[in-house]
A = this chain, B = another copy of it.
Amino acid sequence: MKSRVRPIVAQMHGYVPGEQPRDRDVVKLNTNENPYPPAPGVARAIVAAASDDLRLYPDPGGSLLRETAARVYGVTPDEILVGNGSDDLLSMLMRAFVGPGDVVVYPEPTYSLYESLVTIQEGRVLSVPFPPDFSFPPALQAAEGRLMFVCNPNSPSGTFTPLEVIADLAARFEGVVVVDEAYVDFAAATALSLLAEHPNLVVLRTFSKSFSLAGMRIGLMFGHRDLLAEISKVKDSYNVGRLALVAGVAALEDYAWMERNVACIVATRDRLQSALAKRGYDVLPSTANFVLARRPGEDQAPVQQRLRDSGVLVRHFPTPRLADALRITVGTDPEIDQLLAAL
């Protein structure tokens, strides 16, 4: 059959997500999920909301979730948009800002979905490689474009770009600077504090990592109210369902639960980093809930496959820059023991 899709889509491969096995016996360290459960209040809120009211559309603005998040994060509700996971928010940003030929800037390697989304918009990527230590590439500080993405902490490196650098970028960049803070609760600082000074800054959060709710699809976008009002024109009206909205509220209301899980993961991360270093891996200092472990020059695809055969899933990216590395999610201590034994 002849392809009827747009030529640009016909040529695409599409973003490939990490494997989601049905088999429950594997140790799953490949998609940066939280190994600890969500706050108990989340299930209670879902059970309460799983009523006959499911016949009704959700609140298109997600007001209660925005009001709760506004209190927790010290902003106003109109400085927040809700998303069906932060992937939905990334799509919204691309559709709002990027038309054919428009330039999108980011350092790489980073979250590979950015590139897929730019391609769909027929935009142009201006990317600059991170130096070996994954500090922010100076060449990007003078770049221009419609959007700049800073995944912070960055995936898959786990490294952190200091807030001074981001503030400087936002002050210089003509377009909108998006700080994708999917992993920020595992790090020490957030760009939310920069929003008041920089009306062209947008910060993305997800409930998939620190809040242990990858299965619910909840993301938040923070930014200037005028900017968000424009972006919301490309939002699906009912993009977040009733149960996701109440789950998000419940998760925020037990913020301490999330912080305790994060503290456990950070402790395990330190142990994992040391253990990998002892086994001869180069490990970048991680500020996320995963670790990038490298054996310079040695393709790690066979190692990933051997780990898989022994029931441990980790992520390998078959690109020149990352072929000699494994990205390993920080699981529970017993899961990390199993990984280390299998290595």
A residues lining the B interface (CB < 8 Å): 1, 3-6, 8-10, 12-15, 17, 20, 22, 28, 31, 33-38, 42-43, 46-47, 50-60, 84-85, 87-88, 91, 95-100, 102, 113, 116, 120, 122, 146, 175-176, 199-200, 208, 212-217, 224, 226-227, 230-234, 236-244, 247
Contacts and interface: CB of A to CB of B under 8 A. Distances in A.
13 contacts: A3-B230, A5-B230, A8-B99, A9-B95, A9-B230, A17-B60, A20-B57, A36-B55, A37-B54, A56-B214, A58-B214, A85-B238, A214-B238
Contacts of A199: 1
A15 B215 CA distance: 28
Contacts of A14: 232-234
A54 to B, nearest CB: 4
Contacts of A244: 241
B237 A15 contact: yes
A208 B232 CA distance: 22
B233 A12 contact: yes
A96 B8 CA distance: 9
How many copies of this chain are found per oligomer? Answer: 2
Contacts of A231: 5
Given A47-B47, A54-B216, A57-B33, A84 B239 contact: yes
A175 to B, nearest CB: 6
Contact of A4 (B91, B200, B212, B242): B200
Contacts of A9: 95-96, 230, 233-234
Contacts of A38: 52, 54-55
A69 to B, nearest CB: 18
A17 B54 contact: no
Nearest to A54: B215
B1 A59 contact: no
Contact of A241 (B59, B98, B215): B215
B59 A20 contact: yes
B87 A238 contact: yes
A240 B243 CA distance: 12
Contacts of A60: 17, 20
A58 B244 CA distance: 13
